[in-house]
Amino acid sequence: MRKVDRWLGRAGWGLLTLFTLTALFAPWLSPHDPAAMYEPMLPPSSAHPLGTNDIGQDVLSELLYGARFSLLVGALAAGLSTVVGIGLGLIAGYYDRIGFAIMRVVDVFLAVPRFPLIVFLAAFLKPGFWTLVLFFLLFGWTKTTRLVRSQVLGQRHNGYVEAAVAVGAGDLRILGRHLLPGTASVGVVRFIVEFQHVILAESGLSFLGLGDPTIKSWGSILHYAFQYPTIFISDVWVRWAAPPGVCITLVVLALTFVGFSAETWTNPRLNGRGS
Amino acid sequence: MPTVNNGGTRIFQYIITVLVLLTLNFFLPRMMPGDPLSYLLGDPGADAPMLLTEDMRANLLEYYGLDKPLGAQYWEYLSGLARGDLGWSIYYNAPVGSVILGRLKWTLFLGGTAAAIYVALGIVLGAVSTWRRGSKLDVGLLISIFSLGSWPPFFLGMLLIIFFSFKWGMFPIGGAQSAEAARIGGWKQVVDVLRHWFLPCLALVLSYLPGIYLITRNAMLSVLGEDYVRTARAKGILESLVLLRHAMPNALLPVVTTVAMRFGFMIMGTMFVEVVFAYPGMGTLIYEAGAARDYPLLQGAFLVTMVFVLALNLLADALYGWLDPRTRRASA
């Protein structure tokens, strides 16, 4: 089992690295400007390896630029959610009164089904890049906060923390040096889960046509492909709808695999069990 | 895992949540730039409301109560909701409430049956994986279920339509039933509805199976280390019976909570799948309302969805208390 975990982990990291490099170097890798228009619905050729879409944009260039947007929104929203979540979780676990207030807010947020709410907000507010990140941050921090808080509550009266208090360490030092490191494993796992969620939710929003129509993302490519009348009847979907779909799937899958391997190196207690 | 609160705080929490949602539902459209009438008449970008004469404008504003102070409007909105009045849909030219009622049954049918199937299947496969843990069967299940589960529901739906409907012609390409069969009624209609139901249901089952499977597997594995399981084994009970009778009941508790906490998440999948299969449920309705800029309908559909999910969560909370006697004692 552990051998499989390691192998899957490697596959996951490999795929993620590949996608990250693609996203970083999209302007150099793309054969064309994704907004430039050529003849519509060209079949694949050496000039347009995946052909062109209904308004004549190069599908491969769209796809490469789409990696940029989808991954950036995902990484940024998941990263910020994790950082905010850990920060508030530490505070909520260490200071009782503020903690009580924070947890009541968390309760309300956790009770709200977040995707319908994001769809609703998106329909009214027409989100751009930063609005989107803000949406996902707004609904992404709560679970991390809850987990980190319960962890801090458990460790607050451990010997090493009390010893630090006894030698006169300030609150900041105790939180930063003694309690923060323990939250790393929760943070890594939450980051991965959140990343997956944001990638799926963002591409879903764009697929529904609720994203920014001018931004190239994997979801928006699928949106326009799905709107195209004969998309399913002809084999156009193979070069137009399938690539972005497969990319989303591979990123989510890669994150799952990385998560598998992360679980074993962030939670040593799992080793030796269940195998 | 949700913290185990006693019933009173829990219900209070739900009430607060509903109030927050109602308030958001009321204020968000009013915070949008532009004329409140342009929002009511559909497209906020359109010039149409400008063509109204001053008198007509005043009449319309008065009719919708938009000339009153915000507090009074909010009160009217709440009392309207209490009477079951969700507003008027511009796109369908019908009361929002009745439009939603027509759609809700399809979502409940599709989402309900799919949920029953993937929960049951997830638990069974999770248990099988635990029973044969570490074997090729376990690893195979784990990898294949995850590979399936990473597909975004809308993409999975598209692929299913392409192959099963267009290429192989085995299933209808969309909708919930054909007009022909609905007219004939009887068994013909039942078969027709089931044929339309199959592919969207399959898409949902494949998308949400992995979550349930993994939770069951993890929960079972962690329970297996407990003393009472060791005791059961020491008594010489068959391994399969140890799993079924001793490990399973306790392992199912986290499964119940997770299913409950994911209702909102599952709504997302149902929405995509409905749109892809043109299935006339709430998801398609929200999508259409958004595309047609029918804001009253969007608000109504959103509100009904939210309240429905919250009600399911509340129900699951109650169920959890009933399943786990420990929480009952703690709350007493």
- Write out pLDDT tens, residues B162-192: 899 888 888 888 888 887 877 887 888 888 8
Mean pLDDT score across all residues of chain B: 80
Q: Which residues of A touch B295 (CB under 8 A)?
A: 124
Residue B49: its pLDDT value, please? 47
* Tokens representing residue B313 in the block: 């969560």
CB B85 within 8 A of CB B77: no
CB B274 within 8 A of CB B175: no
Among B255, B189, B259, smallest CA distance to B222 is for: B255
A5 to chain B, minimum CA–CA distance in Å?
10
Q: Which residues of B touch A201 (CB under 8 A)?
A: 268
Among B38, B107, B287, B151, smallest CA distance to A227 is for: B287
B282 to chain A, minimum CA–CA distance in Å?
11
CA A226 to chain centre: 24
Reported as a single tens digit per residue, the pLDDT across A46-60 is 888 888 888 888 889
pLDDT beyond 80 at A271: no
> For A141-148, what is the mean pLDDT?
92
pLDDT beyond 50 at B4: no
% of chain B at pLDDT higher than 70: 86
pLDDT beyond 50 at B205: yes
- Plot region of B180 (φ>0 → left; ψ -120 to 50 → alpha; else → beta): alpha
CB A6 within 8 A of CB A271: no
Distance CA B175, CA B169 (A): 15
CB B296 within 8 A of CB B175: no
- Which of A249, A251, A273 to mutate: most B Cβ within 10 Å? A249
Residue B144: its pLDDT value, please? 86
A176 to chain B, minimum CA–CA distance in Å?
26
pLDDT band at B332 (very low <50, low <70, confident <90, very high): very low
Task: Give the Å distances, CA to CA, from B299 to A118, A219, B6, B289.
Answer: 13, 24, 32, 9
Read off the pTM.
Answer: 0.84
Size of interface A-B (CB pairs under 8 A): 132
Residue B177 carries which side chain, given as an amino acid letter? Answer: Q
Q: ipTM of this model?
A: 0.84
Of A113, A120, A232, the CB nearest to B166: A232
A194 to chain B, minimum CA–CA distance in Å?
13
The strand pairing partners of A52, in sequence order, are: A58
Of A124, A207, A237, the CB nearest to B162: A237
Whether A222 and chain B come into contact, CB under 8 Å, resolves to: yes
pLDDT beyond 80 at B267: no
Distance CA B91, CA B89 (A): 6
> For B49-76, what is the mean pLDDT?
72
Verify whether the Cβ–Cβ distance B152 to A200 is below 8 Å.
Answer: yes
Reported as a single tens digit per residue, the pLDDT across B5-28 is 456 677 888 888 888 888 888 887
Give the residue carrying structure tokens 């043109």.
B278
Name the helix (H) or strand (E) containing B94: strand B94-95
Distance CA B107, CA B308 (A): 12
Distance CA B290, CA B238 (A): 57
Verify whether the Cβ–Cβ distance B272 to A275 is below 8 Å.
Answer: no
Mean pLDDT score across all residues of chain A: 86
- Closest CA in chain B for residue A201: B268
Q: Which residues of A touch B289 (CB under 8 A)?
A: 123
Verify whether the Cβ–Cβ distance A203 to B166 is below 8 Å.
Answer: no
Residue A274: its pLDDT value, please? 39
- Closest CA in chain B for residue A253: B150
Distance CA A205, CA A139 (A): 15
Which of B189-198, B234-243, B257-266 bottoms out in mean pLDDT, i.e. has the lowest? B257-266
pLDDT band at A266 (very low <50, low <70, confident <90, very high): low
Q: Which residues of B touch A205 (CB under 8 A)?
A: none
